[in-house]
A and B are shown apart, each in its own frame.
Chain A
Amino acid sequence: MGVAVRSTKTESGPIHYRYFMNVGPQHPSTHGVLRLIIGLYGEYVLSIEPVIGYGHRMHEKMAQSRPWQAFLPNTARMDYACCLPHQHCYLSLIEQHTGIKVPPRAEYIRVIAVELNRIASHLLWLGAFLLDLGAFTPILYCFDDREEVLDILENLTGARITHCFFRIGGVLADIDDHSANRIREFMRRMRGRFSVYHKLVTENIIFIKRTRDIGIITPDMARRYGATGPVLRGSGIAYDVRKQQPYSAYRDFSFDVPTGSRGDCYDRYLVRVEEMQQSLCIIEQALERMPAGEIRAPVPRTIRLPAGQRSFSVEGARGEVTYYLVADGTDTPYRLKVRSPCYANLNLIQELGQGMLFADMIATLGSLDLVIPEIDR
């Protein structure tokens, strides 16, 4: 990589000398194999061009070439930080399409697992975001807490990251008293940890100066790009699939949808931290009111997907996850389209980053919480 200085004639007349930087595909703060071609003018970013697709694994094509059950492990491999919502979405779609009813206890277990997964994901994001801002220690504290969640999930699902836990018509394992007590213990611990994060991060003057009024996404802009999840809520739009179109058992729980007021990095940070607390709330209610009964509905051995099309959305940790199915009556989907939230969220950076300082651009990129394999699929 030589020092690449190219002259570009801009519309306003003067020639700007852009200093091109290749951020990625291997760079500490792109969190995966994302590549950004950045045109710099001094420390200012003039243009950003994201290059994606380094981690493309043809998941959607795979779905079309094998029976629908065989796609289940794939759903866990798109968003490695928060895979259960993907699985939840896929199975709910199939269940709705084939008219299979899920017992309420199974739905509750699904909700608990998904919310635990969401907390783990937000903790990972929190650490990585602080790492982007140059603080090395918070990520270790986050991992300490995340470890607890992963232990619980490992005991429940058998795996720490790529859980394959939900099954058609229910879940694989029940939450017994022992697991429930562990989850309660984790909730107690986690509630006490927020004050540590507030002292170390939220109230830190350097952190505030680095994130307040940086990377402001206006509600209009968020809508234009189809941003969802905490990125959208940070801009003040209280859109949460769990509230707007309650699926699974979410209708049974009361929880808030935290929103920001300014749409800057700091608001997105606050929204995610508050979301963790809301997730704890949901888990608590779910554990309390857990109905007795089956965890798996009896389903026929072979299920064909009736011809037709259908889509289903859930709220993932990064935004709205949608699976869209076109079936032709066989047991293999004719087409399965996955809408991943990060793809829309990433595109914001092109417009958002222009005219920003390089360091702010990195901070903003971090605040979008991108998981690149989910974009590439």
Chain B
Amino acid sequence: MKRYIIELVQGGASLLAGLGVTLRALVAQPVTVPYPRKKLPMQPGFRGHPMLVRNPATGAFTCIACGTCMQRCPSRCIDITAARTESGTKYPARFQLDFTRCSLCGICVEVCPVSGLAFSRSFAMPHRTREACKYDLVTRGEEGT
């Protein structure tokens, strides 16, 4: 009988303590934000899809179409068509990234010998078709982030 009453009292007290926790939450400020209207700051380290980097001086892509990234990408989602300028330097005429398969692992960015790739900061990229997920980074490079 004594145990029964002790349990009843302690149990009741524990329930009240739980109610206290939620009551405090009720009067506290909510921590969520209504997403499209208000956005949280993005982490500086965020990795979006890979994109081509431009040389700040000339404005041209620094990529020399060497193909290392194409070769090393685990998902084999990069496809480059190289071309040569009159002076003989190679440049990517087309740099296709199949974003349906990219795992954002960052290996391509890391292996590039001329730092020709970087991560973009775009994260909301819905598309209606699979084809639309295949980005040509040469033309998309303009949009950048």
Interface flags for A120-159 (1: CB within 8 Å of B; 0: not) read 0000000000000000010001001001000100111111
Interface flags for B25-49 (1: CB within 8 Å of A; 0: not) read 1000001000000000001111100
Q: How many of A's residues come within 8 Å of B, CB to CB?
A: 31
Q: Which residue of A lies closest to B111 (CB)?
A: A301
For residue A61, CB closer than 8 A to chain B, the reply is no
Q: Which residue of A lies closest to B10 (CB)?
A: A205
Closest 8 CB pairs of A and B: A158-B47, A205-B11, A70-B74, A155-B45, A73-B103, A164-B105, A155-B43, A73-B105
B43: A residues at CB distance < 8 A:
151, 154-155
For residue A116, CB closer than 8 A to chain B, the reply is no
B47 to chain A, nearest CB (A): 3
A81–B40 CA distance with the chains assembled, in angstroms: 23
B106: A residues at CB distance < 8 A:
158, 164, 172
Taking a contact as CB atoms closer than 8 A, the residue among A70, A167, A173, A200 that contacts B45 in the complex is: A173
Contact (Cβ within 8 A) B74 A69: yes
Q: Which residue of A lies closest to B119 (CB)?
A: A158
Q: Other CB < 8 Å A-B pairs besides A71-B74, A77-B103, A205-B11, 20 of them?
A: A66-B74, A69-B72, A69-B74, A70-B72, A72-B107, A137-B22, A154-B43, A155-B45, A155-B46, A158-B119, A159-B47, A164-B103, A164-B104, A164-B105, A196-B21, A199-B17, A199-B20, A200-B22, A203-B14, A205-B10
B46: A residues at CB distance < 8 A:
154-155, 158
Given known A-B contacts A66-B74, A200-B18, A158 and B45 have beta carbons under 8 A apart: yes
A77: B residues at CB distance < 8 A:
103
B145: A residues at CB distance < 8 A:
none
A155–B55 CA distance with the chains assembled, in angstroms: 26
Q: Residues of B at under 8 Å CB distance from A?
A: 7, 10-12, 14-15, 17-18, 20-22, 25, 31, 43-47, 72, 74-75, 103-107, 110, 119
Contact (Cβ within 8 A) B119 A172: no
The SS class assigned to the A binding surface is helix
Contact (Cβ within 8 A) A72 B105: yes
A232 to chain B, nearest CB (A): 29
Contact (Cβ within 8 A) A172 B110: yes
Q: Which residue of A lies closest to B11 (CB)?
A: A205
Contact (Cβ within 8 A) B74 A200: no
For residue A261, CB closer than 8 A to chain B, the reply is no
For residue A204, CB closer than 8 A to chain B, the reply is yes
For residue A345, CB closer than 8 A to chain B, the reply is no
A141–B79 CA distance with the chains assembled, in angstroms: 44
B98 to chain A, nearest CB (A): 15
For residue A367, CB closer than 8 A to chain B, the reply is no
Given known A-B contacts A155-B43, A155-B45, A203 and B72 have beta carbons under 8 A apart: no
B119: A residues at CB distance < 8 A:
158
A91–B75 CA distance with the chains assembled, in angstroms: 19
- Within A70-111, which residues are at the interface with B (CB < 8 Å)? 70-74, 77
For residue A162, CB closer than 8 A to chain B, the reply is yes
A57 to chain B, nearest CB (A): 13
Q: Which residue of A lies closest to B15 (CB)?
A: A205
Contact (Cβ within 8 A) B45 A154: yes
A205: B residues at CB distance < 8 A:
7, 10-12, 14-15
Contact (Cβ within 8 A) B17 A203: yes
